[in-house]
Amino acid sequence: MNGIRRLFVGARGLRGGWRFLFFVLLAIGGGGLLQLVLVTVVGYRPPPGFGAFDLGLADGLGLAVALLVAAILNPFDEHPFGAYGLPPGGRLVPRFVEGAAWGGAAVGLLMTLIWAAGGVSFGGLALHGPALAQAAIAWAVTMIVLGLYEEFLFRGYALVALWDGLGFWPAAIVLSALFGALHYFTKPMETWVDFATVALIGLFLAYTFFRTGSLWFAVGFHAAFDYAALVVFGGPNSGNQGKPLDDRLLATTFHGPAWLTGGPLGPEASFFAFLVVAGLFAAFVWRSRRFTERPPA
């Protein structure tokens, strides 16, 4: 019996690997069950491609399930719930705002490099008046929900659980590879470039958690990065059938080879994205010398 107990229970309670496995199975299974209820019972039929309401609804439900599963599993380890990356109060707003500034700047730099190489041209606003304001606000809310959901799912509870069992860097690498693989295997037209850049961005965001002690910087970065790339600059995305959003803010036209523009996968699949991610790591290592917060190891 002691041998079996040691297999499941360690110094921090239920071993991290088991907590990670239970979290993934329950979070994904619970999200799938909710979607099944929406389709079969409520009769909800989301249209193909990306719409602010439909994407926000799906990610909002996924976030609710992930938080609920984490709360259920929380008594099986010694961490306070805030250690999973979303502590209330404190540095929430400054970290979120700073992360958003970094995310927007990263896309701005990426688009500047693509433009300098002749891969994009700008034709002014794609929307005007109330339609512009409505799209800007609706997509801002949606991207914040998306950032919260994906960051908590991949770099919240799951990262802390694996961190307990493997150490930070092995856990971060495993989850970042899974983050890239999810994009690669579940979306059409994907390439190794998008897999690699998405995984590297995930690793960068995990590092910001390690240094700041929370996910608020990562949530702000994620939300602003996607907002700038998809909504402001109108980059295409394979999840949107390789097309830009209908209600993007700028009338942007991409032209040139896929290695330059990212093709139907959007600017994050441009080879220039590797330079941007390298710059992000270097800049954040310098910036984080002044950070003192740490999540429980």
43 within some domain: no
* pLDDT over 80 (residue 48): no
156 within some domain: yes
Nearest in space to 212 (alpha carbons), one of 118, 103, 86, 112:
86
State the residue range of the domain holding 90.
84-290
242 within some domain: yes
55 within some domain: no
* pLDDT over 90 (residue 33): no
**Spatial separation of the C-alpha atoms in residues 221 and 211, rounded to whole Å:** 15
The radius of gyration computed from the CA coordinates of the chain, to the nearest angstrom, equals: 20
Say how many domains are in the chain: 1
* pLDDT over 50 (residue 241): yes
121 within some domain: yes
117 within some domain: yes
252 within some domain: yes
58 within some domain: no
**Spatial separation of the C-alpha atoms in residues 159 and 152, rounded to whole Å:** 9
Two tokens, residue 119? 């891969």
Give the pTM: 0.92
Nearest in space to 45 (alpha carbons), one of 35, 59, 30:
35
The predicted pLDDT at position 297 comes to 45
